[in-house]
Amino acid sequence: MSLDPSYLDYSKRGYGQDMDRYDWALAKDRAPVRLASGAQVAAMIVVACEHHVIDPKKSPFAHPHGMVTPFPDLRHFTSRDYGNRVGVFRILEALRARGLTATFALSAALLERAAPLVAAILNAGHEIAAAGLHGDAIHHSGLGEDEERAMIGRVRDAFAAAGLEPTAWLSPARQQSFATPDLLTQAGFSRVLDWESDSVPMSLRTAHGPLTALPLFNELEDFKLLVERKQDEAVWTRQILEAKDFLKSEHASRGASVLGFQLTPFVAGQPFRITALEALLDGLAGDEAVWCAGADEIAGAFEPASP
- Say whether pLDDT at 12 is over 80: no
| Predicted confidence (pLDDT) at residue 27 exceeds the cutoff of 90 | no
pLDDT of residue 1: 57
Q: Using 50, 70 and 90 to split pLDDT, how confident is the model at 189?
A: very high
Predicted pLDDT at 306:
46
Say which CATH superfamily domain 34-302 falls into. Glycoside hydrolase/deacetylase (3.20.20.370)
Model confidence at 305: pLDDT above 80: no
Helix, strand and coil percent figures for the chain, each rounded to 5 = 40, 15, 45
Query: pLDDT (tens digit, 9 = 90+) per residue, 130-144?
Result: 999 999 999 999 999
The mean pLDDT of 217-245, rounded to a whole number, is 97
pLDDT more than 90, % of the chain: 89
Mean pLDDT within 138-156: 97
Q: Is residue 307's pLDDT more than 50?
A: no
Distance CA 12, CA 14 (A): 6
The stretch 147-165 carries a mean pLDDT of: 98
Kindly state the average pLDDT of the residues 74-81: 96
**For range 267-287, the mean pLDDT:** 98
Q: 3 or 112: whose pLDDT is higher?
A: 112
If pLDDT is split at 50, 70 and 90, which confidence band does 98 have?
A: very high
CA distance 202 to 260: 14
User: What is the per-residue pLDDT for 60?
Assistant: 96
Q: What are phi and psi of 102, to 5 degrees?
A: -130, 170
- Is it the case that residue 280 has pLDDT exceeding 90? yes
Complete DSSP assignment for 153-199: HHHHHHHHHTT----EE--GGG---TTHHHHHHHTT--EE-S--SSS
Q: For residues 47-86, b (16+ Cβ closer than 10 Å) or e, as one string?
A: bbbbbbbbebeeeeebbebbbeeeeebeebbeebbebbbe
In this prediction, residues 16-22 reach a mean pLDDT of 84
- The mean of the pLDDT values for the chain is 95
Q: Per-residue pLDDT averaged across 250-274, rounded? A: 97
